[in-house]
Structure 1
Amino acid sequence: MTLAKGLGNGVPIGALGCTDRVAEGFAPGAHACTFGGNPLSTAAALATMELLTEPGFLDRVTEVGAYFLGMLAGLAEDHASIVQVRGRGLLLGVEFDRPVAPLISALLDAGIICGPAGPNVLRFLPPLVVGQGEVDCVMAAIEACLEELGW
């Protein structure tokens, strides 16, 4: 299993975990790297792992993901331009009947950073530490931008 972006929580790091059987296939030194063991990166990874293994943390992530998905689904009921809301956990997408580039620009102007997943899908991938309060702020911005665009 490979780990990278999420492991360092924004600090560059990568890691590989494997079974003994798989590890036997590595020639000595084949898995080494120039910047391996960087103290800043490893400290960030350790702090991230401590947070991820904190009791109840992943339950909170699941709850906030379900809350965000539900809020987006409710938004779809009020906006015919929304074709589908989908996602799992905190990886969420809202498919529109038109290109989302203008909406992404409007959201950026409102202080919300998100991106596309194809021309018509608005993708959300907030950090695992996001709370319902932040989701509410994002939802208010989305609603305002949709109204501004006439969607």
Structure 2
Amino acid sequence: MRDYFLMVRAVILVLWPITTWAAGESLGTTLGAVTLADWLSLVILSTVSGLVALLHRVRRSFEAEALRQAGQPAAEADRQLIDWRIFATCHMSGAILVGFIVFALCEALDINNYLEAACIALASWGGAKFADRWADGLSDRISSAIGQKGSTP
């Protein structure tokens, strides 16, 4: 087993410089023509899409809390947020990361600007929703590690 890991390590060390050079060449030409306005549009679209997903999640959390206080059942997925900072960080990080990936892909494919903006907005929203599910599990693990019961956002 040790020999296997040494071989994998050797392959990575041999391929790393070539892969890095190829990525630099392809991304350099693709992103070389991108202006500051394009980057600002990317950040604004990704942030707004992530914020929409975050506010939707917070609204569901408040609705579930109101149902719980009224004695009515609420969906487990909509339960009270443990720590709003975890969710906000995960939503924004997921939205901006996915937005950047889609932006780079759209620039490489030379897609129309309006279609590119729509792709970035939808992908960022999807990235934030994915991060929401991931943060839910992360929040449960963190809260159980520190012994919190939960607090409202």
TM-score category (smaller protein):
0.3 to 0.5
Larger radius of gyration: 2
> Which structure has the highest helix share of the two?
2
TM-score of the two chains, using structure 1 as the length reference = 0.36
> Which structure has the highest strand share of the two?
1
TM-score of the two chains, using structure 2 as the length reference = 0.36
Using CA pairs under 8 Å that are at least 6 residues apart, name the structure with larger relative contact order, 1 or 2.
Answer: 2
